[in-house]
Amino acid sequence: MRQRMLVVVAVLVVAVAALAVWRPWSDDVPEGTAFRIGDEVVSVDDLNARNDSLRALYGIQEPLGEEEQDLFRRQAAKSMAISLVLDEAVDEEGIEVTDAEVDEAVAAFVDSRFDGDRDQFLDSLGNVNTSEDAVVEEVRRQLELRKLLAEVAGEVTVSAQEVTAAFGERRRELGEPERRVVSNIVVGTRREARAVRAQLDDGADVAVLARRVSIDAATRDQGGRLGAVARSELLPDVATAVFRTGSGRAYGPVEGSQGWNVGVVTAVRQPVPATLAGVREELRAVLQSEKVQGRWSAWLAERLRAADVHYESDFRPRDPYDVTAWEQPLGGEPSGVAE
């Protein structure tokens, strides 16, 4: 039960936290408006307050680039509009969550993120300009939405025939992909990378070199060890270099998001084809989740279109009614060589 509550807090179909202060709508849009929904107005300050709460719970940070900030702002407005639509649905359905359920979920979150240190948790709220009450209300909404989702989706079953058919269609992606065991070094310039590559070709120990020169703080102390990685787990250019390199050989230089990458492939693990018996239950759960998501998305899109949401020009999302592709506001760019 505790783990289930933690999952509710950390990830849901959509993230919600309606921290708006409602004001009656009039023909004149107040200055600082982000969007209006029906006859109510949501200000930029309301939107920023919501983002502060999400930052406290999920670590969401506004990106630095101008284009990325613009996308973040528009997606954050869409997120909040969806939140308000869902809050109305929760009220209509009479869904309630007890204080005990909320307390358990908050405690699970503090245990997970702060090792149970409540004082550290409270300090973190001040650092992101939000309050404990705001976070508690966000958690309450997450729990309410879990119950709403169950009502909207209803009973979902997946037949044995559906599992077999899906296995035939997805066999390739269900298998274990080829993996390379990699140790990677990141340096600031191509010239430095070439010098490191020359040392590796001469037999230098990649772990020793990584600890000495790598600027990738995430892997430097582990001697650059990335472990066994699939192609999809690497940035495209780095993946190309790594997966054309044989076992025991060096690769690079190749430019990544943090700098220039050089490393060694220490082993090649061949792909393992999937079997129906081996993936049956996992595949059934995936199909069931897809059905739930499909019902939820169709229902939510209909509710959103009926809600009469009007965004100000700087906040209008590129796809205001596309809930199937909607995600919680932007995360960060990949770091190092891994996505």
Q: What is the pLDDT along the chain (339 residues), one digit of tens a residue?
A: 344 333 333 333 333 333 333 333 334 567 899 999 988 899 999 888 888 877 776 667 778 888 888 998 998 899 889 989 999 999 999 999 999 999 999 898 889 888 888 888 888 877 767 788 888 888 888 899 999 999 999 999 999 999 999 999 999 889 899 999 999 999 999 999 999 999 999 999 999 999 999 999 889 999 999 999 999 999 999 999 999 999 999 999 999 888 999 999 999 999 999 999 999 999 999 999 999 999 999 999 999 999 989 999 999 998 888 886 544 332 333 233 444
Starting at the edge strand found earlier in the chain, the sheet holding 249-255 runs 225-230, 179-187, 260-269, 249-255
As beta bridge partners, residue 41 has 36
The predicted structure's pLDDT at residue 335: 31
pLDDT of residue 7: 37
User: How much is the pLDDT for 28?
Assistant: 56
The answer to whether the predicted template modeling score (pTM) of the entire model surpasses 0.85 is no
Report the pLDDT value the prediction gives residue 125, as an integer from 0 to 100.
78
Q: What angle do CA 187, 252, 242 make, to 5 degrees?
A: 115
Largest CA distance in the chain: 75
* Neighbouring-strand partners of residue 260: 187, 255
CA distance 306 to 324: 17
pLDDT at 115: 87
> Are the C-beta atoms of 87 and 145 separated by less than 8 Å?
no
List the structure tokens of 272.
């393992």
For the chain, list the domains and their CATH numbers. 2-157+279-311 (1.10.4030), 176-269 (3.10.50.40)
